[in-house]
Copies of this chain bind each other. A is one copy, B any other.
Amino acid sequence: MGVIFSPEADNLTTMAGPRGEYSKSVERRAEILEAAFTTFAKSGYTASSVNEIARSVGMTQTGVVHHFAGKLALLQAVLEQRDTRAELLLDGRRGRDFLASLVEISRTQESLRGVVQLYTILSAEATDPDHPAHDYFVARFERIAAAVTLAFEEVGAADGLRDGVDPRRAALLTLATTEGLELLWLNSLEVDMAEDIRRLINSLLIEPI
């Protein structure tokens, strides 16, 4: 089964029968997601259209809707790709180790300017409570804040937090700073996203990570 999702799957698209069709469909979805990503990153969500995304991959709007129910479904699929990558890095890590992996995730963003820009534009647009992705972003921020709070609590339980540092406030500060550093980095300020977030976290810990 694995071969269908591997780069070699290209060879299968010429095969007749359901397996070939399935593989073609997987490729089509990947192509559409790539185009949706590029369009959203350039114009934001509001100003983009399914039609524009369809045209950029030589499809009709109906053709795209066959794979993704609409613009919001495209957005969610694009965002989930990013989160899945980050969650793999965090999986099974606790306390100081979890906090250290937040620094690693920031490091990986440096080679993903387009993803960071897309995400920055969409999360800003979605601050409008009427935006279709508003609830998605609120839930996403809450989920991350809860995971980072837990990590600071684990460090606190081992007496690793500086005096007066509250785990929940530390988590919100870490999340806010990560978002803000991305914005400044995109605006060409000489921030070092990974080292600056490490500095913030270390200002809250007794022993630096």
Residues in A lying within 8 Å of B, measured CB to CB: 42-44, 46-47, 117, 120-121, 123-128, 134, 137-138, 141-142, 145, 162, 169, 172-173, 175-181, 183-184, 186-191, 196, 199-200, 203-204
> Across the interface, do B127 and A183 meet the contact criterion of CB distance under 8 Å?
yes
How many copies of this kind of chain does the complex include? 2
> Across the interface, do B173 and A141 meet the contact criterion of CB distance under 8 Å?
no
> Across the interface, do A121 and B117 meet the contact criterion of CB distance under 8 Å?
no
If A44-B44, A124-B124 touch, does A176 touch B172 (CB 8 Å cutoff)?
A: no
11 contacts between A and B (CB under 8 A): A44-B46, A44-B47, A120-B127, A121-B125, A121-B127, A126-B187, A141-B184, A142-B189, A176-B180, A177-B177, A200-B200
- Give A203 to B43 CA distance when docked, in angstroms: 38
If A44-B47, A138-B187, A179-B180 touch, does A199 touch B128 (CB 8 Å cutoff)?
A: no
